[in-house]
A and B are shown apart, each in its own frame.
Chain A
Amino acid sequence: MASLMSLRRELFSLARILSGVSHLVRFLLFFLMQITVTEEPDMLFQKVVILVKGHDRAVLDSYEFFATMAAKELGITIGKVFEPPKAIERLTLLKSIHIFKKHRVQYEMRTHYRCIELYNITGCTAQVYLEYIQRNLPEGVAMEVTKTAMEKIPDHILEPLWKEIPTDDKPSQ
C-alpha cells in the first residue's frame, strides 16, 4: 500500500510539474502506460552520481544543461555539478612505414568529464530520470552511474551483544 501511495504521489507531482514541458510529458505519458505496481517498498538512494564522458566539451556543456533542467523540473535535489579534469592519452608513433626512426607523429585523445550528483532520491524517480537521461544521450558520449542505496539496519545489530546474553558469574574451571 505504501508503494501504491508513493507511486500515485509521484505520478501526481510529475503530472503537475511537467504541464509546461511538452517533451518530458510526451515521454512520461508513454512511460506511464507501462506502470507495474509492486508490494515491496521502494529503494531509497542517498546519492546518485552520474559521470558523463565525451570528446567534445561543448556537447557535454549542453548535456549538463539538459540534465540539470530535467532534474529541476522533476523536483530532484541536485548536489554538485562539476567538471573533473580532462584526461589526455598521447601516442608517439613512427611517421613512415619502413625506416626514418627520427621522424615521428604524435596523436592525442582527450576525454572530458562532467559529474552530476543527486541527493536523496527514491528508486522510482531515479529509474524514470535515468531512463529519460539515457535515451537522450548524444552519440559519442558515455555515462557511468553510481548509486548509493540506503538500507534499514538489520535488527540483530541494533542492540549490543552483551546486553542480551545473561552474564555468567561462575568462574571458569
Chain B
Amino acid sequence: SPSYLFFCFVFLQSTLAWSSLCRFSGNRSLHVTASCCKNRAARIRVGKGDRPVTYEQAHHPHHIAHRKGWLSQHTSNLKGEDRAAERTIEDVFIRRFVFGTFHGCLANEIVIKRRGNVLSVCAVMLQKLPPQKFYFLIGYTESLLSHFYKCPVKLEIQTLQDKAVYKYL
C-alpha cells in the first residue's frame, strides 16, 4: 500500500540522514517541465474568456471514448483489419473538400461514417446561404464524391442559426 511504502521511505531517509551526518535532510527543490514535454495536439489553450468554443474543441484528445465520440467511423483500425491508410486519406480529402465547398458554413467538424459500401458524411451547417444554393451544393458534393470514390456517398446536413457554443476560453 502507498502509505506503508511512504512510511518505509521516510524511515529509511531519516536513518540515512542520521548515519551520514544529516546530509539529506529533506530539502525539496522546484521541478519544472520543459515546454517541449507539454502536449499541444488538438487543444485550445485557456485564454481571456472571450473565445467561443464548441464541445468538440473544448475536450482534449485523451477524452475520446470517455466524453467525446469518434469523428470518423470505420472498421480498418480494429485488430486484424487492414486498409487503414486508404480510409484516412479519403477522410482527409473529404474533410477538405466539404470545408471548401461550404465555405464558412460549417458549424462543427464533419462526421464520416462507413457502412458497407456507403459513405455517409454528416455535417452541421450554419444558415448562411439560401436553401436553393444549399441543395445545389449538397447534390454537387454527393455526385462528385460518388464518382470519385466509386461508392454511394450520402450527405446528411443539419442547419443551425449560430454555432453551438459549449464554453468560452
Interfacial residues, chain A to chain B (CB-CB below 8 A): 53-56, 87, 89, 95-96, 100, 103, 105, 109-111, 137-142
Q: Say how far A49's CB is from chain B's closest CB, in angstroms.
A: 15
Q: Say how far B63's CB is from chain A's closest CB, in angstroms.
A: 14
**Chain B residue contacts of A110, Cβ below 8 A:** 65
Report the separation of the CA atoms of residues A89 and B37 in the bound assembly, to the nearest whole angstrom: 23
Interfacial residues, chain B to chain A (CB-CB below 8 A): 36-37, 39, 41, 65, 69-70, 73-75, 77-81, 113-116, 120
**Chain B residue contacts of A56, Cβ below 8 A:** 65, 69-70
Contact between B75 and A103, CB atoms less than 8 A apart: no
Contact between A55 and B70, CB atoms less than 8 A apart: yes
Contact between A141 and B79, CB atoms less than 8 A apart: no
A110-B65, A139-B73 given; A103·B36 CB < 8 A: yes
**Chain B residue contacts of A55, Cβ below 8 A:** 65, 70, 77-78
Contact between B79 and A95, CB atoms less than 8 A apart: no
User: Quick one: which of A96, A111, A138, A139 contacts B78, CB cutoff 8 A?
Assistant: A111
Q: Say how far A5's CB is from chain B's closest CB, in angstroms.
A: 34
Contact between A140 and B81, CB atoms less than 8 A apart: no
**Chain A residue contacts of B81, Cβ below 8 A:** 53, 142
**Chain B residue contacts of A138, Cβ below 8 A:** 115
**Chain B residue contacts of A142, Cβ below 8 A:** 75, 78, 81
Can you name the residue of chain B whose Cβ is closest to the Cβ of A134? Answer: B116
